[in-house]
């Protein structure tokens, strides 16, 4: 801790509550940061690849998550360390942007930092390292585009898409039925994709789960599933050609937002109020009925009386539907969300071919399925599985696969997996390094070294001798100039990822390199860490 | 496995958090899962023992049970892998209702085998692959072993009885299993395949012995008639309601009574009373002679209704009202303005009956003959609680069998058949996967072994005999463990059969859970949330 002194030699307090704060600076700070980042990356390293392992995460409340998804692991492990948190954010931004490759990006960043540490020991200035990394990343991204290939598919021929999704799913626990799952994902994406604008609105794909059954029972529903039941046990459980009124007002007497009191001081007023109350309910139900609705979906609750009157009018209703779901229903059925009963009109109703309530297992669990929606775009993947953890993990895996399919619809360039792209980039960066004058060339070489981390981890996780395998693949790539050679994790007998059909999206891979480089630069630039003391 | 550890001592996690890696993590999860499996192991099979569970809450409530799901639900588990097993047992309970112990024991045995393989340096992923292939083969073998008597009503009924008896034989009801099996089968047969278990109501009444339990067609409501009402109504027309009959408040927000003199209070009171009287009038105009409300009925409305010749029952809970609506075919009403529009429930006879000391209301001759009530009698509430759980298991299994009529011989026979199929596969498979398959077969054979051990029999002797019986794939054998004679016996002849769906679910969920635990190589525990005292 450095201290300042005044002209009489007395120490001077510059930072408030200086004593309570800890401070690390200079090379020591960099080393400590790198150490922390490495230890986070090391945790994820064993989850990479088709034979990657899972982690059990136990939250503060004792809730258990079992997962293989990098972003989820980091999010749930509640990292406290400031640099660790940067890595958590790194994997999250990869998740938001691309949705897949969240483990790979952290492993890459960890390995870049590991290499930087060696350079720091050799006395190279952190900023020069950062610059070298930046240059190398540029070369690598360009190389990725060079080795990338166009990937052809059409709405009629979704097989290539299915195979990409299978690559993503093969590292997850669902790989037992990856074929079925991949097909579901691709069908879901194709159902909502706007192929002309090359865009997919992921909000339209919902992934719902219910414990029970087998993984194979997972289905794609061409519509929406609500975890709700029909409000009155005796209403119709199946409505064909439903006209749906979507309401955000409760079936209750109005509650004006201004504070008010109604004083009852005479019998007449009491009677009047009573009549008024009755009328409210009647009007509400009548307005719904008059608009021609055959199903009412409401965001709020129903009064018992209103509920009965709806039943009486043969108007099935669903209550307590969440805002997000309500919007989704509105989009899918082409209806409008109506905030007041008075505004109900026939043209504001949504339409769906079939709405039904389905029951599961021996418990009284029920769900509502809305199928064949008018403006049908929304789809739901309904996941079944042995237990809750299984379902949660399947949902996460499906999310990843759906993101991959979406990325391919957006841009159909791909690179081959199995570490082949990283090795190709490493070779390109090393070549480029030789042409760079100055200290940066060391950093670039380090970058190339760091890229080897991904294939090494893949080989290690698959139980292959890591160094030997990577060296073999690398020399083979140099010799044959075939950038599709990678680590044969599944022991199929060929190193050519093109024949194995293992590939990833180009933007996903590019994003990984760019994001990892950025975070590493950020960490290298820090030379002073001041931690505030605990507030008493 | 790289075990560099946190060499620099940098702790990236929060205070109080811990991380276990690699071998340690695997060890922790294997040990935890096996501990759970060992815990429930002794309850397996017809000679399985019970457990006493003492709750931590007030009054140290005691439950005596043999039901795996109930035991696991009640214990507090910290180990993450153990939690997975608790979870599958719960899922098994929700899905098929029985086999909750077997699924945990099976998963535990699989993990025991996996642990040995990991120690022999087999990669966990290889083990998983072997298990998966073994599971597929085992499933096929199970399907081949199944017997289907769907076409033959009489045989099917006999199957159901056998299944119920087998399920009940491991429970407290084992001494009266014939009696209860008959009850359960009759109840399920009444559903006529609709599979709605809600229609079967179980009522516990302490007193008498288990043998005095009976099935009553129709519906029994655990309520009393209001005082002074007739105790017997023939040709009842029932109006079911969910409406406040105590004080029917005005629901408009902000309404309150504010008056300036006592006389006005009286007037308003009169108006309120009038409102209630009107409501009763409307109710009476429906033409019903029995009014059942979910909520309370105060004395005044009751009296008004009485004078109009309408008997009333108050405070039937949600389930009661819903069931009544189901069985009598009436609507549940909350408003009463349209007497013609609401359908009344009908029932030939409503009367008060006595079971032991308690009075209950019995609805017989209801419109829908599917519903029925099973009244359980027994010495204490603990016995009754366990009896209800056992009967529930049996009902669930029977319902599953009605849906999918395939059955299997019991007594560990299907396990032996599956083990043989898996062994055959292992013999043909090159590579380390075959080791995992052998392990899978061993785990399957552990189920009959444990059944024997729990019954105090010479398990190695009997299981090896069984193995010999099932050795030839071409000859179908129904041999299994016969606990009564302590030898092997033909299960189909002895009438020990099990439901196919339950067995299949045990196989699939058990493998799935084991797979999940084997895949783990890292356990991260976050700092426990600080609870405010």
Is residue A199 flagged as an active site residue? no
pLDDT of residue A284: 80
pLDDT at B193: 61
Chain A positions in Cβ-Cβ contact with residue B84 (cut-off 8 Å):
64, 66, 387, 389
CA angle B257, B262, B264 (to 5 degrees): 55
Q: Which of A422, A430, A421, A425 is nearest to A132 (CA)?
A: A430
- In the numeric block, the tokens 């590579």 are attached to B431
Which residues, other chains included, contact B521 with Cβ-Cβ below 8 Å and sequence gap of 6+?
A46, A53, A54, A55, B21, B22, B25, B26, B124
Q: Is B151 exposed, middle or buried (0-12, 13-18, 19+ CB in 10 A)?
A: exposed
User: How far apart (Å, rounded) are the C-alpha atoms in residues A232 and A310?
Assistant: 9
Which of B393, B401, B449, B488 is the catalytic position?
B393
Between the CA of residue B150 and those of B153, B196, B406, B490, what are the distances in Å? Answer: 7, 20, 8, 22
A contact residues 212-251, partner B, Cβ 8 Å cutoff: 212-215, 232-234
Q: A198-209 pLDDT, tens per residue? A: 778 777 888 888
The region of weakest confidence among A5-14, A172-181, A462-471, B170-179 is A5-14
Name the active-site residue from A95, A400, A452, A495: A400
For residues A261-285, give the mean pLDDT.
77
How many degrees, rounded to 5, is the angle at CA B225 between CA B220 and CA B226? 155
Quick check: A373 pLDDT over 70? yes
Using CB atoms, pick whichever of B252, B334, B399 lies closest to residue A276. Answer: B252
Q: What is the DSSP letter of A298?
A: E
Q: Look at A270 and B271 and tell me if their CB atoms are within 8 Å.
A: yes
Among A136-140, A504-508, B327-331, name the one with the lowest average pLDDT.
Answer: B327-331
pLDDT score recorded for residue A517: 93
Contact call for A274 and B250, based on CB within 8 A: yes
Instruction: Place A178 in a pLDDT band, splitting at 50, 70 and 90.
Output: confident
pLDDT given for residue A448 in this prediction? 92
> Among this protein's residues, is A102 annotated catalytic?
yes
- The structural domains of chain A, with segments of one domain joined by +, span 22-149+442-488+506-531, 223-375
The pLDDT, as a whole number, for residue B4 is 40
Residues of chain B below pLDDT 70: 1-11, 14-15, 57-59, 192-198, 226-228, 246-254, 317-319, 326, 337-342, 367-370, 530-533
Give the model's pLDDT for residue B59: 67
Residue A187 or B264, more confident: A187
Spatial separation of the C-alpha atoms in residues A297 and A246, rounded to whole Å: 5
Which residue is closest to A385 within chain B, CA to CA? Answer: B509
Rounded to an integer, what distance in angstroms lies between the CA atom of residue A170 and that of residue B388? 45
Structural contact between residues A497 and A484, judged by C-beta atoms closer than 8 angstroms: yes
Pairwise CB contact (< 8 Å): B256 & A261? yes
pLDDT band at A133 (very low <50, low <70, confident <90, very high): very high
pLDDT at B57: 67
A234:B2 CB<8 A: no
Rounded to the nearest integer, the mean pLDDT of chain A is 82
Report residue B398 as tokens.
């029977």
Nearest CA to B292 out of B370, B369, B208, B361 is that of B361
Query: What pLDDT does B191 receive?
Result: 73
Q: Can A103 be counted among the known catalytic residues?
A: yes
Higher pLDDT, B407 or A385: B407
HSE, CB side, 13 Å, CA atoms: give it for residue B312.
25
Q: List the one residue out of A275, A495, A507 whose CA is nearest residue A410.
A: A507
Fold of A223-375: GroEL (3.50.7)
User: Range(s) for CATH 1.10.560.10 in chain B?
Assistant: 13-148+409-525
Name which of A295-304, A347-356, B297-306 the model is least confident about: B297-306
Topology, domain B13-148+409-525: GROEL; domain 1 (1.10.560)
User: How high is the pLDDT of residue B438?
Assistant: 92
Determine the topology of domain A22-149+442-488+506-531 in CATH. Answer: GROEL; domain 1 (1.10.560)
What values do phi and psi take at A256, rounded to 5? -60, 150
- Cα(B508)–Cα(B107) distance, integer angstroms: 10
Percent of chain A with pLDDT over 90: 10
- The H helix count followed by the E strand count for chain B is 16, 20
Task: Determine contact: A493 vs chain B, CB below 8 A.
Answer: no
Task: Please state whether beta strands B311-313 and B290-293 pair in parallel, antiparallel, or not at all (unpaired).
Answer: parallel
Q: Does domain B219-368 have CATH number 3.30.750.24?
A: no
DSSP structure class, residue A163: H
Cβ atoms B362, B43 nearer than 8 A: no
Query: Which is the catalytic residue, given A69, A236, A452, A496?
Result: A69
Both tokens of B466, joined, read 């069984």
Confidence band, pLDDT 50/70/90 cuts, at residue A364? low
CA quadruple B441, B442, B444, B448: dihedral sign: positive
ipTM of predicted assembly, 2 dp? 0.73
Separation CA A379–CA A189 (nearest Å)? 9
Q: Which carries the bigger pLDDT value, residue A432 or residue B9?
A: A432
β B372-378/B200-206 pair status:
parallel
Which positions ≥6 away from B301 have C-beta within 8 Å? B245, B276, B279, B280, B312
DSSP letter (8 states) at residue B194: -
Give A516's pLDDT tier (boundaries 50, 70, 90). Answer: very high
In sign, the C-alpha dihedral spanning A88, A90, A95, A100 is negative
Q: Which has the minimum average pLDDT: A409-413, A469-473, B34-38?
A: A409-413
Residue A188 has pLDDT above 50, yes or no: yes
pLDDT value, residue A221: 82
């Amino acid at each position: 801790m450095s201290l300042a002194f005044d002209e009489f030699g007395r120490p001077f307090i510059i930072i408030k509550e200086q004593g309570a704060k800890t401070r690390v600076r200079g090379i020591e700070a960099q080393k400590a940061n790198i150490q922390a980042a490495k230890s986070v990356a090391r945790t994820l390293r064993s989850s990479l690849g088709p034979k990657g392992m899972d982690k059990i995460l136990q939250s503060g409340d004792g809730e258990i998550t079992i997962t293989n998804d990098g972003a989820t692991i980091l999010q749930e492990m509640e990292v406290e360390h400031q640099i660790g948190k940067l890595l958590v954010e790194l994997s999250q931004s990869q998740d938001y942007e691309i949705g897949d490759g969240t483990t790979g990006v952290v492993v890459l960043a960890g390995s870049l930092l590991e290499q930087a540490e060696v350079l720091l020991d050799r006395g190279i200035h952190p900023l020069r390292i950062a610059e070298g990394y930046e240059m190398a990343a540029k070369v690598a991204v360009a190389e990725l585009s060079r080795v990338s290939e166009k990937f052809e598919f059409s709405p009629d021929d979704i097989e290539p898409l299915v195979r990409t999704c299978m690559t993503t799913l093969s590292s997850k626990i669902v790989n037992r039925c990856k074929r079925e799952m991949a097909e579901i994902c691709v069908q879901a994406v194709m159902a909502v994709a706007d192929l002309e604008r090359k865009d997919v609105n992921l909000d339209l794909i919902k992934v719902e789960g219910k414990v029970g059954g087998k993984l194979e029972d997972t289905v794609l529903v061409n519509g929406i599933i609500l975890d709700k039941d029909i409000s009155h046990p005796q209403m119709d459980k199946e409505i064909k050609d439903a006209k749906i009124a979507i309401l955000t007002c409760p079936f209750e007497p109005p509650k004006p937002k201004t504070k008010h009191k109604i004083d009852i001081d005479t019998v007449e007023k009491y009677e009047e109020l009573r009549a008024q109350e009755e009328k409210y309910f009647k009007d509400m139900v009548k307005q719904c009925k008059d608009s021609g609705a055959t199903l009412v979906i409401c965001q709020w609750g129903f009064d018992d009386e209103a509920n009965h009157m709806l039943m009486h009018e043969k108007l099935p209703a669903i209550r307590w539907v969440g805002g997000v779901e309500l919007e989704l229903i509105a989009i899918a059925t082409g209806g409008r969300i109506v905030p007041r009963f008075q505004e109900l009109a026939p043209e504001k109703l949504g339409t769906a071919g079939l709405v039904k309530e389905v029951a599961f297992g021996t418990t009284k669990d029920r769900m509502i399925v809305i199928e064949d929606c008018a403006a049908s775009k929304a789809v739901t993947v309904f996941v079944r599985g042995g237990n809750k953890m299984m379902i949660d993990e399947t949902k996460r895996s499906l999310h990843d696969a759906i993101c991959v399919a979406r990325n391919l619809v957006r841009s159909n360039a791909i690179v081959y997996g199995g570490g082949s792209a990283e090795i190709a980039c490493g070779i390109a960066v090393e070549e480029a390094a030789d042409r760079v004058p100055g200290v940066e060339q060391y950093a670039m070489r380090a970058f190339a070294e760091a890229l080897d981390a991904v294939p090494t981890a893949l080989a290690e996780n698959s139980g292959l001798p890591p160094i030997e395998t990577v060296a073999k693949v690398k020399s083979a790539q140099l010799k044959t100039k075939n950038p599709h050679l990678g680590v044969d994790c599944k022991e199929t007998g060929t190193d050519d990822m093109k024949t194995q059909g293992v590939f990833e999206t180009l933007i996903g891979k590019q994003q990984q390199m760019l994001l990892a480089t950025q975070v590493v630069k950020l960490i290298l630039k820090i030379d002073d860490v001041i931690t505030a003391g605990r507030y008493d | 496995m790289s075990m560099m550890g946190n060499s620099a001592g940098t702790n990236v996690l929060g205070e109080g958090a811990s991380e276990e890696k690699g071998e340690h993590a695997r060890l922790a999860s294997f040990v935890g899962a096996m501990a759970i499996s060992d815990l429930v192991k002794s309850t397996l099979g017809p000679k399985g023992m019970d457990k006493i569970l003492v709750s931590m809450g007030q009054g140290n409530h005691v439950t005596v049970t043999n039901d795996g799901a109930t035991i696991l639900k009640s214990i507090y588990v910290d180990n993450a892998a153990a939690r997975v097993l608790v979870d599958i047992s719960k899922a098994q309970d929700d899905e098929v209702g029985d086999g909750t112990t077997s699924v945990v024991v099976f998963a535990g045995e699989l993990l025991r085998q996996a642990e040995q393989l990991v120690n022999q340096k087999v990669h966990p992923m290889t083990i998983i692959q072997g298990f998966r292939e073994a599971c597929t083969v085992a499933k096929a073998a199970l399907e081949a072993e199944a017997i289907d008597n769907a076409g033959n009503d009489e045989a099917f009924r006999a199957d159901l009885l056998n299944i119920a008896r087998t399920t009940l034989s491991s429970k407290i009801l084992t001494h009266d299993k014939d009696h209860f099996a008959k009850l359960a089968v009759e109840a399920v047969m009444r559903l006529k395949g609709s599979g709605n278990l809600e229609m079967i109501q179980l009522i516990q009444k302490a007193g008498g012995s288990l043998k005095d339990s009976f099935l009553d067609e129709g519906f029994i409501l655990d309520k009393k008639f209001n005082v002074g009402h007739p105790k017997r109504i023939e040709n009842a027309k029932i109006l079911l309601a969910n409406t406040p009959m105590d004080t029917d408040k005005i629901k408009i927000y902000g309404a309150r009574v504010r008056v300036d003199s006592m006389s006005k209070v009286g007037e308003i009171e009169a108006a309120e009373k009038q409102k209630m009287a009107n409501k009763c009038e409307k109710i009476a105009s429906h033409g019903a002679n029995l009014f059942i409300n979910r909520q309370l009925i105060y004395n005044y409305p009751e009296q008004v209704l009485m004078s109009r010749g309408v008997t009333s029952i108050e405070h039937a809970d949600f389930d009661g009202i819903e069931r009544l609506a189901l069985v009598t075919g009436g609507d549940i009403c909350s408003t009463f303005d349209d007497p013609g529009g609401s359908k009344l429930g009908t029932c030939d006879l409503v009367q008060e009956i006595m079971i032991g000391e308690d009075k209950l209301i019995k609805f017989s001759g209801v419109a829908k003959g599917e519903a029925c009530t099973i009244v359980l009698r027994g010495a204490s509430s603990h016995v009754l609680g366990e009896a209800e759980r056992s009967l529930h298991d049996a009902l669930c299994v029977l319902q599953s069998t009605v849906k999918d009529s395939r059955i299997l011989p019991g007594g560990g026979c299907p396990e032996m058949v599956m083990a043989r199929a898996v062994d055959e596969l292992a013999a043909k498979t090159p590579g380390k996967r075959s080791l995992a398959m052998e392990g899978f077969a061993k785990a399957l054979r552990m189920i009959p072994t444990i059944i024997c051990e729990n019954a105090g029999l010479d398990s190695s002797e009997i299981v090896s005999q069984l193995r010999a019986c099932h050795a030839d794939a071409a000859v179908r054998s129904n041999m299994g463990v016969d606990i009564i004679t302590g030898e092997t016996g033909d299960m189909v002849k002895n009438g020990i059969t099990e439901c196919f769906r339950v067995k299949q679910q045990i196989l699939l969920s058990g493998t799935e859970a084991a797979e999940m635990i084997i895949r783990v190589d890292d356990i991260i525990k976050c700092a426990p949330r600080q609870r405010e005292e």
